[in-house]
Structure 1
Amino acid sequence: MSQSTIHRVEFKTNVVHINDVKQRDLARAKHLVAGHQPHGPNAKKHQQPKQGGDEIPVMNNGVTYLASCGFGEPATNCSLLIDTGSSNTWVKKEKYKVTSTSKDTRKPFSITYGLGSCSGSEYTDRLTLSQDLVIENQSIGVADKSDQMPNMDGILGVGPVALTKNTMAPDASNPNGIATVMDNLKGQDKIKIECIGIGYTPTTKLNAATGNLSFGGPDSTQCDGKLNYVPITSTYPASEYWGIDQSINYGNTEIMAKCAGISDTGTTLILLPQNVYELYQQKTGAKVDQTTGLLTVTQAQYEKMESLYFCVGGEKYEITPNAQIWPRKEDSTLNIPSGEIALVVASIGDIKAGDGLCFINGFSFLQRVYSVYDTTNARIGYAPTKYTHATTN
């Protein structure tokens, strides 16, 4: 098999019925801004999470993206949440079947997320991501306990190895953490570089195949235009995550000057500095819904909205008015009042440009823009897709 081969894995979406999207996103953002438990390519030098506060909630808050992965031989397929912000791969015990390739290491594992936790025993086993992408002797947590982990069988952690430290029993052969899925893909010559391309699509219905991962590089078929790469920002703490430098226009008006922030698959909304958020609210005429804390507009206001343009590395990525709203067929999950339309833009807080992490491009942005996370070359790639101008919402 050629190392340059790009492996594509389909996945599906699963809408989680919650009404506190904003609160959960802000709790996550608070820890990211503080520099706790970084998870970008420059975070490998951090062997311990920074002290203070709870762990970061790594899970997507409104929609989960699930990949069907096989354990053992013959493989038992399980639906795993895809997470670039954590690195352990684990599965619930009731979903896991011991086969000839399974090995119980008799070592405990335990992971506490900001939202949920799990614990059990570590196994090594064959992990099948696709027909031609199979990993041997992958470390897998088999969880006999899992808390607040509904609608999934486990997690596929594709972040850096440093995040696995202290989640398993000490191992002299792996003092800096357990080999991740990405580590083993590269170590077993399945991919040439540690790079993941993620193609989300706007949600249309539950449990539909509406996205894909490409291991080893980007999937050019997902791009509807130029794929542009930028290096990880040098501004701390955004530099410790998947950080970029970016400005934003609303229509032809710049509402956010160039500053540092991050691209984050674990955040649902688009989070902007308070002053930028207020300017956006003024431009759209939106008001704050007292139940959810989200901005809402009327149909008449929506029809007058303009596109947001995210300016990154000399390229502009358009987020249309339709992409700025929560899918209206899901308004009932947030208890949005009849006649109002919820927006996916929220405030990250009273952040100044010099604070170093001013915005988060969550998956509301990433559903309309193809994204590539290249650990080997410490860079991020964006490209428009055929869904950039979709009217799905």
Structure 2
Amino acid sequence: MFSVASLLTIILLALSTTGSPVEVSNSPITLPIARRLSALNGTINLLEQDRARAAALRLKGQNLKNGGHGVPIANVATGYYIAVGIGSPPTTYDLIVDTGTSDTWIGAKKAYSQTSTSIDTEEPMQVIYGSGSAYFDGFEYIDTFTFGNGLTIPQQSFGVALETSGTFGGADGILGLGPVDLTAGTLIDEPTTTIPTVTDNLHSQGTIHREVVSISFEPITEVMEVINGELTFGGTVRNKHGPITYNPITTTSPASMYWGIDQSISYGDTTILSSTAGIVDVDTTYILIASDAYVEYQFLTGSTTDAATGLLLISSAQYAALENLSFGIGGVRHFCRLSHPLLTICTGNVHSHPCQIWPRILNTYIGGSSNAIYLVITDIGTPSGQGFDFVNGYPFAERFYCVFDTSRSRIGFAQTPYTDATTN
């Protein structure tokens, strides 16, 4: 049984004071997100997919800056899905929620059913994922999108795949929530043309007054598919978060092409990554950091590389000795103290864990030992100073309310009831 102190070791977040708290208005447009696990051949594939995704995002950002085509990549192992109706009457498609890409398309699994509202623009589209082993080729269509709460978006552009390669986690396609500039290069005959995203159209059609999308998750507590997240357009849900603090989109390329920020990372009192640029991406499974920071983190934690999973492995004693991992964003630190009184309710729960470790309930799913303790901090594969030195993935997003604000080129963070939770 793990000690109380070990159960209370949590990721710390340093929040910027840029902008005033809770500036984005409450929004009624909130939609559920369901987590679904896909079949894997061991977690080494999952780790490699995360690294391939980071490499592809970095390359796409560099190519877009230079006017070229890009290669986004989908995390096809653990998908966060939203049901979207397309057409009139609508056919429902399960799409992966992805903040690392802005292209929306269907056809990976369920075929597109055209209706009276379907418009074929006859524009060829293509998105290549990673090294080219996964892709979709098809055409641009325009149709009506309908979400479960009655939200309707007429005249929404999206891709319909004629051919795909890759499983995409069993999803029908992808709902892209990244910045609109990422769509450049998707239309084959118009490589510099961008395509309005779902968030763009909601704003331009007057459905939302600010081009904002917010995402929140609850920590993972079970293996089966479960609704554990919310997607909100146009604002936030006030009773789901505390004061929001904002940070400008980084000016450092290629992270600046995405939901990128400047941040430093410390383990205990040791800075392992000086202030540098990276991105927030809910569709990345782990937290990826520059190789030099990763080596330092491994040394400080005393962890070893697990052959079965590729993740860092620690013993029970090392788990009890873990120090706080802090993210310095905007130069101001906010600490979640180990002595937080509300956390004592988790005492003795052997399934509890801080957000530096992988949910033990999913250990066997990723090819690991059921009793092992794996860390979620992984190597991005390149040294710091590349302009893309970290990815704050799902373990980060499940602890903090994330507000992606296109209208003011910034990202906001707020604490939630799960920021200090030790049950995952």
With the shorter chain as reference, the TM-score category is: 0.7 to 0.9
Tell me the equivalent position of 1:387.
418
Q: Deviations over 1:14-37 (max 9, x none)?
A: 11233222222222323444x533
Whether the 8 Å contact between 1:317 and 1:369 is mirrored in structure 2 is: no
Tell me the equivalent position of 2:272.
255
> The residue matched to 1:94 in structure 2 has which SS?
coil
Q: CA 1:179–1:358 in structure 2 vs 1: closer, same or farther (change >3 Å)?
A: closer
Fraction of identical pairs, as percent: 40
TM-score normalized with structure 2 length: 0.80
Q: CA 1:14–1:67 in structure 2 vs 1: closer, same or farther (change >3 Å)?
A: same
Structure 1 position 332 matched with structure 2 position 364 = yes
Structure 1 position 162 matched with structure 2 position 181 = yes
- Distance in 1 between residues matched to 2:208 and 2:128, nearest whole Å: 30
Q: Deviations over 1:89-125 (max 9, x none)?
A: 2222734333332233344333222262123343221
> The residue matched to 2:365 in structure 1 has which SS?
helix
Paired residue type of 1:382 = F
Tell me the equivalent position of 1:80.
95
How many residue pairs get aligned? The number is 377
Structure 1 position 240 matched with structure 2 position 257 = yes
> The residue matched to 1:37 in structure 2 has which SS?
helix
Counterparts in 2 of 1:122-133, with a 5 A limit? 122-133=140-151
Structure 1 position 49 matched with structure 2 position 64 = no
Unaligned 5+ segments in structure 1 are none
Counterparts in 2 of 1:194-213, with a 5 A limit? 194-205=211-222, 206-213=224-231
- Distance in 2 between residues matched to 1:303 and 1:4, nearest whole Å: 40
> The residue matched to 2:103 in structure 1 has which SS?
coil
> The residue matched to 1:282 in structure 2 has which SS?
helix
Q: Deviations over 1:273-293 (max 9, x none)?
A: 333222322332211012322
Q: CA deviation at 1:388?
A: 1.6
Q: CA deviation at 1:132?
A: 4.1
Paired residue type of 1:326 = W
Tell me the equivalent position of 1:153.
172
> The residue matched to 1:226 in structure 2 has which SS?
coil
Tell me the equivalent position of 1:285.
302
Q: CA 1:87–1:245 in structure 2 vs 1: closer, same or farther (change >3 Å)?
A: closer
Q: CA deviation at 1:315?
A: 3.7
Q: Deviations over 1:36-66 (max 9, x none)?
A: 3369xxx7x775336xxxx231x22542110
Tell me the equivalent position of 1:11.
33
> The residue matched to 1:324 in structure 2 has which SS?
coil
Q: CA 1:391–1:47 in structure 2 vs 1: closer, same or farther (change >3 Å)?
A: same
> The residue matched to 1:36 in structure 2 has which SS?
helix
Structure 1 position 36 matched with structure 2 position 36 = no
Q: CA deviation at 1:295?
A: 0.1
Q: CA 1:99–1:355 in structure 2 vs 1: closer, same or farther (change >3 Å)?
A: closer
- Distance in 1 between residues matched to 2:101 and 2:293, nearest whole Å: 30
Counterparts in 2 of 1:213-224, with a 5 A limit? 213-223=231-241
- Distance in 1 between residues matched to 2:289 and 2:322, nearest whole Å: 18
Q: CA deviation at 1:236?
A: 3.1
Whether the 8 Å contact between 2:137 and 2:161 is mirrored in structure 1 is: yes
Which has the bigger relative contact order, CA under 8 A and spacing at least 6?
2
Q: Deviations over 1:204-263 (max 9, x none)?
A: 33321110111112332321x321101112333333322222222323444333222221
> The residue matched to 2:153 in structure 1 has which SS?
strand
Whether the 8 Å contact between 1:319 and 1:368 is mirrored in structure 2 is: no
Q: CA 1:104–1:260 in structure 2 vs 1: closer, same or farther (change >3 Å)?
A: closer
Unaligned 5+ segments in structure 2 are 1-24, 339-352
Counterparts in 2 of 1:126-145, with a 5 A limit? 126-145=144-163
- Distance in 1 between residues matched to 2:86 and 2:305, nearest whole Å: 46
